[in-house]
Amino acid sequence: MTSQLAIHLQNSFDINHQELDKVLGFFKYKKVLKNEILLNKNETAKHLYFVLSGSVRAFFIEEDGLEATRYIAFENNFITSLNSFIKQEPTNEYLQATENGELLALSYDSFKTLLSTVAIWKDFYIKQLEVAYTTNHWRLESFIKMDAKQRYDYLIEIYPQMIQRLSNKTVASYLGITQESLSRIKVKR
């Protein structure tokens, strides 16, 4: 089950077999069902997930009950509530499987063990922080500079699997619009 993660790490880092075996040994397989909640609001993120198949989203529920999706991880991507995971404090967001899938879970304690025992894991951590920063920067910039149609067009161009595989409700919450607005945008395309 860890071969997909092994390939991902080997393609991303100059990792030797001993380090790779040690890293892979800490990950635990988890099968998830569509809509399964992996982390609830006010819980502390205890795991970093690597998506083998399916997808997982990080989202908030606003005061009016509407959902706002912050991030969606598809195959070969990592996801957690990063702020909660780093600080080991309760989160204000949820993690949810958006499709049936398979994940590899790395506990916080194992993550910290890897940081202190596998040199390449610090490079991994830096890369994950960089990915999180650039993703969040793009999200913020897109909400400031683009209208809803432009954000939708960008998704079709860069992340077509998001449009093809996820519900309109999830896509709309990622775009920061209502499902009705998303339907109007789709009709006009």
pTM over 0.85: yes
91, 83 in Cβ contact below 8 A?
Answer: yes
Burial environment of residue 149 by CB neighbours within 10 A (0 to 12, 13 to 18, 19 or more): middle
pLDDT tens digits along 50-62: 999 999 999 999 8
Model confidence pLDDT, tens digit, residues 128-184 = 999 999 999 988 998 899 999 999 999 999 999 999 999 999 999 999 999 999 999
Q: Given pLDDT bands bounded at 50, 70 and 90, which one contains residue 189?
A: confident
What tens digit of pLDDT does each residue of 14-39 get? 999 999 999 999 999 999 999 999 99
What ranges do the domains of the chain cover?
Answer: 3-144, 146-189
Backbone phi and psi for residue 128, each to the nearest 5 degrees, phi listed first: -65, -40
> CATH homologous superfamily of domain 3-144?
Jelly Rolls (2.60.120.10)
